[in-house]
Amino acid sequence: MDYTKQIQDIAGRLFSENKIDVFIGYRNTGFDENQVPVLINQYKDVDQLLFTDKSVFNLANYLKYEHTRNKRVGLVVKGCDSRALNLMLTEKQVKRENLYVVGIACKGVVDETGEMAQNCIECVMPDAVIFDEMLGTPSGRREYQENADVRELDGKTLTERQEYFEEVFESCIRCNACRHSCPLCYCAKCCIDQETATLFQGANTTSSAFHALMTWSLHLAGRCVDCRNCEKACPSHLPLHLLHKQNEKVIYGNFQEHLAGMIEEDRGAFYKYSLSDPDDFIM
Ligand code: SF4
Ligand code: SF4
Ligand code: SF4
Ligand code: SF4
């Protein structure tokens, strides 16, 4: 998967026609084979842009910051990124008329071992669901499958699961990189910020991390698009997808097979209800 030339041409065209102020894409780190997001604001820099199976980050995250807010922005979105963008539009975080969206018919990105990332193997929608221009040949929606790690955890006893998560949360340093890297965490005042948190205390304890991360994951319930930006940002390499994929599974099973951001104007799982809901999953 290499759309480098096409993306450089599109960004160059948009700048020369004065249709955008900034283009959000990927560039090489400059010191290894990995890529980082880049914000280009002039024509002469478009040759920095590239797109391959190492273009892993969700660029919709950069729409929530000051340097792109209320500007005319071009950006590249894979299927998962575009689902986050859909939600940002529905939640009025960004204006559609300010965006030029280059959608990717994604073939999957690689993880740090060079193998296809787990979320790509399980991906339900590799093609961008919102775009002005699409690159590649769409392969269509795939069947939903339960996350392999969540299935494995489900096989453990409650005590085993508790022990496992206590160990996981113990490694959290409360840096909030997970929250900052999530496109759907855009609140100006966040309840889990250490300096403002009265509920969870600023202290970096396993218990405060547990409360903060559980609260965070519940704020993403029915909204998480499984891009794994949060997990890639975590300096402690916590398996944060376990929280989100568990929520996703419960919501898929109980809210009419809801998956976040799949369609434009989707109001989210909690707007889907039926008078015949048994509610038997609620504690
Ligand atoms: S999760 Fe899907 S859309 Fe996202 S990078 Fe992987 S294959 Fe592409
Ligand atoms: S919680 Fe993580 S995986 Fe889910 S949308 Fe946010 S960054 Fe992506
Ligand atoms: S964790 Fe909750 S309050 Fe904090 S930014 Fe995310 S959605 Fe907003
Ligand atoms: S990024 Fe990792 S270490 Fe930092 S707060 Fe989130 S889970 Fe904890």
Q: Is pLDDT at 282 greater than 70 in this prediction?
A: no
Residues 80/36, Cβ–Cβ less than 8 Å: no
Same domain (yes/no): 154, 79: no
CA–CA distance, 61 with 132 (Å, rounded to integer): 19
pTM of the model as a whole: 0.93
70 and 31 co-located in one domain: yes
Tally of CA atoms within 13 A in the half-sphere of 40 that contains its CB: 26
Ligand 3 mutation target, pool 185, 211, 215, 217, most atoms within 8 A of CB: 185
Are residues 124 and 11 part of one domain? yes
Ligand 1 centre and the CA of 119: distance in Å?
A: 7
At 201, the pLDDT band (50, 70, 90 cuts) reads low
In tens, the pLDDT along 46-92 reads 999 999 999 999 999 999 988 888 899 999 999 999 999 999 999 99
Count of domains observed in the chain = 2
Task: Report if residue 141 sits inside a domain.
Answer: no
Instruction: Tell me what pLDDT residue 142 has.
Output: 96
Residue 242 lies in a domain: yes
By most ligand atoms within 8 Å of CB, the mutation choice from 219, 244, 248 for ligand 2 is 244
Count CB atoms within 10 A of the CB of residue 207: 12
Q: Beta partners for 110?
A: 116
For residues 8 and 131, state if they share a domain.
yes
pLDDT band at 200 (very low <50, low <70, confident <90, very high): low
Judge contact between 60 and 181, C-beta under 8 A.
no
The 10 Å Cβ neighbour count of residue 186 is 17
Are 9 and 116 in the same domain?
Answer: yes
| Ligand number with the minimum distance to the CA of 224 | 2
Mutate to test the pocket of ligand 3, among 189, 193, 219, 240 (most ligand atoms within 8 A of CB): 219
pLDDT class for 193, splitting at 50, 70, 90?
confident
Mean pLDDT of 206-219: 87
The average pLDDT across 239-255 equals 93
At 206, is the pLDDT very low, low, confident or very high (cuts 50, 70, 90)? confident
Q: Which two tokens stand for residue 250?
A: 């419960």
Pocket of ligand 2 (CB under 6 A): 58, 84, 181-182, 184, 220, 224-230, 244
Same domain, 115 and 168: no
Q: How far apart are CA 22 and CA 228, in angstroms?
A: 25
| Closest-approaching ligand to the CA atom of 235 | 4
Task: Judge whether 278 lies within some domain.
Answer: no
